[in-house]
């Protein structure tokens, strides 16, 4: 549909989930991002927060209340699914105007906050427990006790203050059941409880390392997720 509505447009990345979208925006620095509000791993709102001020954003959504809020804000456009060709043409025309006028990409923080409140009202059920087999023992981990998760091929390492284990579930699936305001993705393979972070240390090359309050392990932050640690 984009190829028909905007033949000159060059698509630099297509992503199946939120973490990949954030990394693609960091890697390709696109002028425009079309984001579904609901995506696996992280929502389109989380991605928009990361992309705020860096590219123009068009939300796609099946929820009219989200679309109306985005439209009223005037900072971004929206496409209500199923997407109609004439509506996409209107969005492309608006983007043309902004790009030709060299308008700066808007700061989406306020808009994202508004939409996040609406999205939270019909959010999926959150994970409360994870179980892991260790030999003949089944360990139970309360999500409220987890400090961080790390991807390990087909498994995910779950770490608490005094214990850890590997669960037979990929990190992306676990992320879908976590509250993104409580657990922050800081790397493609790492999600950390925000309250467990004692400090973020930047080295001479700009790389960020996290020091935790109740664990000696240090966690690396990838460039795509460094926006989380900008000084307020």
Integer distance in angstroms from the first to the last C-alpha of the chain? 40
pLDDT of residue 115: 66
Q: Domains in the chain and their CATH numbers?
A: 2-121 (3.40.50.2300), 129-229 (2.40.50.1020)
pLDDT of residue 68: 57
Query: H-helix or E-strand containing 219?
Result: strand 218-221
To the nearest 10 degrees (0 to 180), the angle between helices 109-121 and 64-73 is 160
Question: What residues contact 116, with CB distance under 8 A and at least 6 apart?
Answer: 45
pLDDT of residue 192: 97
pLDDT of residue 180: 84
* Regions in the chain scoring below 50 on pLDDT: 73-75
Is the pTM value of this prediction over 0.95?
no
Maximum separation of any 2 CA atoms in the chain, in Å: 65
Question: What residues contact 96, with CB distance under 8 A and at least 6 apart?
Answer: none
pLDDT of residue 37: 82
């Amino acid at each position: 549909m984009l190829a028909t509505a905007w033949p000159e447009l060059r698509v630099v990345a297509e992503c199946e989930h939120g973490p990949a979208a954030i990394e693609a925006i960091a890697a390709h620095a696109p002028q425009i991002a079309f984001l579904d509000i609901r995506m696996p791993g992280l929502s389109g709102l989380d991605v928009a927060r990361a992309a705020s001020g860096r590219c123009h954003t068009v939300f796609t959504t099946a929820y009219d209340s989200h679309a109306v809020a985005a439209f009223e804000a005037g900072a971004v456009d929206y496409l209500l699914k199923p997407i109609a060709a004439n509506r996409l043409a209107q969005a492309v025309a608006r983007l043309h105007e902004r790009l030709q006028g060299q308008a700066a990409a808007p700061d989406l923080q306020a808009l994202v906050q508004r939409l996040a409140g609406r999205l939270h009202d019909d959010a999926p059920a959150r994970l409360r427990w994870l179980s892991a087999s260790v030999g003949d023992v089944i360990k139970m981990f309360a999500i409220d006790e987890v400090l961080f998760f790390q991807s390990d091929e087909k498994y995910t390492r779950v770490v608490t203050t005094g214990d850890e284990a590997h669960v037979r579930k990929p990190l992306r699936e676990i992320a879908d059941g976590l509250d993104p305001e409580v657990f922050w993705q800081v790397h493609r393979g790492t999600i950390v409880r925000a309250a467990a972070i004692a400090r973020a240390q930047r080295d001479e090359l700009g790389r960020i390392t996290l020091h935790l309050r109740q664990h000696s392990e240090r966690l690396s932050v990838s460039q795509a997720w460094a926006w989380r640690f900008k000084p307020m």
